[in-house]
């Protein structure tokens, strides 16, 4: 007896079907990517509740604009830009409604930067240094150094030029190096 395994549709196929109103195809895209959206939002914001709100908002925004997705980039890159923009919007809203700043939390997902920091016993110092960066610089560091994206992918996700991405990354790394000089 031969077992036939159904072929898994690509993201591009699912996007095409979702753009024509296929809710099941869109649901499959959400199932595939929502954990990544949440993780990125959590890394950018440091608050699990706000990251969950961002993930829900990203789902809504993606559904409303799926027809506008041209396919010039990967679906995940397109949605990561939506996550970044939505995270910054939610962060501004949270600041208006809170007197205290957003505190960082330990990220439960595997993160190479934090893995090495744990190994060296300096996780708290690395986290503090990372959260001291501006949101724009922190986003570049997270996307480049944690997710391993190319400069072009970072630039596209953040809606900036490759040169701007490189400059932000350089500034962020320089700041981190200075802050962690006594620790490393």
- Taking only the tens place, the pLDDT of each residue in 30-82 is 999 999 999 999 988 888 999 999 999 999 999 999 999 988 888 998 999 99
Domain 10-104 sits in CATH 1.10.260.40: no
Q: Give the residue from 38, 75, 44, 68 showing the smallest Cα distance to 56.
A: 38
In the prediction, which pLDDT does 73 show?
A: 84
Topology given in CATH for the domain delimited by 110-184: Arc Repressor Mutant, subunit A (1.10.10)
Inform me whether the pLDDT recorded for 23 exceeds 90: yes
Q: Give the residue from 79, 133, 83 showing the smallest Cα distance to 104.
A: 133
Structure tokens at 34: 């929502």
In the prediction, which pLDDT does 2 show?
A: 65
Kindly compute the dihedral angle of the four CA atoms of residues 103, 109, 14, 7, in this order, to the nearest 10 degrees: -170
Q: Report d(CA 21, CA 18) in Å as an integer.
A: 5
Q: Give domain limits for the chain.
A: 10-104, 110-184
In the prediction, which pLDDT does 147 show?
A: 84
In the prediction, which pLDDT does 105 show?
A: 39
- Taking only the tens place, the pLDDT of each residue in 141-159 is 988 988 888 899 889 888 8
Inform me whether the pLDDT recorded for 6 exceeds 60: yes
Q: Report d(CA 10, CA 54) in Å as an integer.
A: 25
């Amino acid at each position: 007896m031969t077992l036939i395994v159904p072929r898994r549709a690509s993201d591009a196929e699912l996007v095409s079907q979702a753009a024509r109103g296929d809710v099941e195809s869109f649901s499959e895209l959400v199932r595939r990517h929502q954990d990544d959206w949440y993780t990125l939002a959590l890394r950018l914001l440091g608050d699990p509740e706000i990251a969950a709100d961002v993930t829900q908002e990203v789902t809504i925004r993606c559904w409303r604009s799926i027809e506008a997705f041209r396919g010039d980039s990967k679906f995940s890159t397109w949605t990561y830009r939506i996550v970044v923009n939505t995270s910054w919007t939610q962060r501004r809203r949270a600041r208006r409604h809170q007197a205290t700043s957003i505190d960082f939390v330990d990220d439960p997902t595997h993160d190479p930067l934090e893995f090495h920091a744990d190994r060296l016993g300096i996780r708290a110092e690395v986290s503090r240094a990372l959260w001291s960066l501006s949101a724009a610089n922190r986003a570049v560091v997270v996307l480049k150094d944690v997710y391993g994206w190319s400069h072009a992918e970072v630039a596209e996700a953040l809606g900036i030029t490759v040169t701007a991405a490189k400059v932000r990354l350089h500034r962020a790394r320089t700041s981190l190096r200075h802050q962690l000089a006594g620790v490393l």
